[in-house]
Amino acid sequence: MAETVAARLSAAGTAAALELRGVSRYFGALAALVDISMTVRPGERRAVLGSNGAGKTTLFNCITGDFAPTSGAIRLFGEDVTAFPPYERIRRGLRRTYQISLLFNGLSVIDNVYLACRGVSRGRFSLIRPRRGDALAQSAEDLVAAVHLHEVRDQLVANLAYGQQRQLEIALALAGAPRFILFDEPAAGLSPTERAELIEILTGLPEHIGYMIIEHDMDVALRVATRVTMMHNGRIFKEGAPHEIEEDPEVQALYLGGGGDGGR
């Protein structure tokens, strides 16, 4: 990277939150993603729809660096992060939740959240225990309260109910100062009450935090997104405002009408 810090800073101010240019990913002969190009503006809330196997989660894995794209470039706030390991991308403000919760089962709820706060700040290798009233410990407490988990604060994650694990999954993605979050089916398996709480959390996020959400439930997706991308067989099929996508006859034929796993 030959860019100076000043150049990076000014680029971060004006550049797109996320920019994909010709991103493809092959698993052997299987094309999971084919030539994906998209631009997400800072603060934009983007829903990614598509049937199973459309390549949505693969797209997320390429953006976070869980694995590299076969070809193409990924820019995060103007910076080319294609070759970066996941932790470098996270430290630049990217966050992500997983479709199947990836939590720390041997640790308590508060320790899980504390780790998430610690991961994006200094002192990851500190041997000194945090003091009472430590700023980072306090922000972990606040996050636990924000996702309504304060009553199970000290319980081992392995003992939590499914819905609580999903809430913790979201808390981990909100730690630190997130700038762009990838939510991978956050509503899957939640009760109607929990869904309402989730929508409240998502719509209540500060305006400067953009996100991308994979959601099968159209009701949730269209309420929390300002723009929608439809994927099909590893390619972008349609992109537009929620109502455009909803009313598009091609989309209805492909997804809303024919889909077995869709929302309503």
**List of residues contacting other proteins (CB under 8 A):** 64, 66, 85-87, 90-91, 96, 98, 102-107, 111-112, 114-116, 118-120, 123-130, 132, 172, 175-176
8 Å CB contact between 187 and 220: yes
d(CA 147, CA 51): 29
Burial call 146-170: b when 16+ CB within 10 Å, e when fewer: bbebeebeeeebeebeebbbbbbbb
Residue among 36 and 140 whose Cβ is closer to other proteins? 140
Nearer to other proteins, 132 or 264 (CB): 132
Q: Which is nearer to other proteins, 149 or 254 (CB)?
A: 149
Rounded to whole angstroms, the Cα distance separating 183 from 173 reads 9
Residue with tokens 């949730």: 220
Residue closer to other proteins (CB basis): 66 or 219:
66
Q: How distant, in Å, are the alpha carbons of 125, 134, 176 from that of 138?
A: 19, 6, 12
Structure tokens at 250: 């091609």
For the CB of residue 162, give the shortest distance to other proteins in the complex, in Å: 17
Cα–Cα distance, 76 to 118 (Å, whole number):
22
CB 61 to other proteins: min, Å: 10
Length of the chain: 264
Pick from 41, 39, 45, 1: nearest CA to 20: 39
Of 110 and 236, which has the nearer Cβ to other proteins? Answer: 110
Pick between residue 33 and residue 117 the one whose CB is nearest to other proteins: 117
- Least distance from other proteins to the Cβ atom of residue 106, Å: 5
**Shortest spacing between CB 136 and other proteins, in angstroms:** 8
Token duo for residue 155 = 């319980």
State in angstroms the smallest separation of the CB of 259 from other proteins. Answer: 29
In whole angstroms, how close is the CB of 77 to other proteins at the nearest point?
16
Of 113, 196, 107, 200, nearest to 149 by C-alpha is: 113
